Amino acid sequence: MNYKHTRFFLSLTLGLGLGLAGSASAQADEFTNADLEQWQQDFTWTVKKGDKLFHSPLGSNTVSCDQCHPNAADTHPETYPKFQKQLGRVATLGDMINWCIQNPAQGKPMSLDDPRMIALEAYITYERRGVPLAPGKH
C-alpha cells in the first residue's frame, strides 16, 4: 500500500468513525419532562396567538379569516402541499394563507417564516388535528 492509499484509508476510517459517533450522539439526544412541558406550553401559546390573528383583520380592510372560515372550516391543511389553481403551482399551506391575505383581506403577503404565519399555520392545523394526511387532495 503506498502513501496515497494509506491516507485514503485513514481518512475513510476517521470519517466513518466520526459519522458513527455523530449518529450515536443524535440518538442520545434526550429530553426531560420539564422540556416536554415547556415545548407544549410554547406550542399552545403559538396556537392561541394564531387564533387571535385568525379573528383579526390582517389586510387593509376589516375582513378577518374567521368570517369565511369559522373554526378554520374549509382550510384543509391536511391536503397540502397540493396544486392550487389560483397560484398555478404546487403550493404550501402558507402560500394559500398569503393568497387569502392578499385577496379577500387585501393585504401584503407575509414571509413564510414570519412568526405570525407560523402562528396561523399552528392554529389552522391544530383545529384539524386527527384528520388523516391527504397531500394533493382536492
Q: Which residues of the shown chain bind ligand HEC in the complex (CB under 6 A)?
A: 58, 63, 65, 67-69, 74-76, 79, 93, 96-97, 100-101, 104-105, 120
The residue of the chain with the least Cβ separation from ligand HEC equals: 65
Q: Which three cell numbers stand for residue 110?
A: 407575509
Contact between residue 61 and residue 108 where contact means Cβ atoms under 8 Å apart? no
User: Which of 37, 114 has the CB closer to ligand HEC?
Assistant: 114
CB 121 within 8 A of CB 50: yes
CB 121: neighbour CB atoms within 10 A?
21
The residues with which 73 forms a beta bridge, in sequence order, are none
Q: Quote the least distance from Cβ 54 to ligand HEC, whole Å.
A: 6
Least CB distance from residue 101 to ligand HEC, whole Å? 5
- Closer residue to ligand HEC in complex, CB, 36/90: 90
* 57: phi then psi, degrees, rounded to nearest 5: -65, 130
Exposure of 60 in the CB half-sphere (CA atoms within 13 A)? 6
Please identify, using beta-carbon distances, which residue of 9 and 108 lies nearer to ligand HEC.
108
CB of 133 to ligand HEC, least distance (A): 14
| 1: nearest Cα among 9, 17, 14, 11 | 9
* Residue nearer to ligand HEC on the CB measure, 17 or 70: 70
Q: How far is the CB of 25 from ligand HEC (least distance, A)?
A: 39
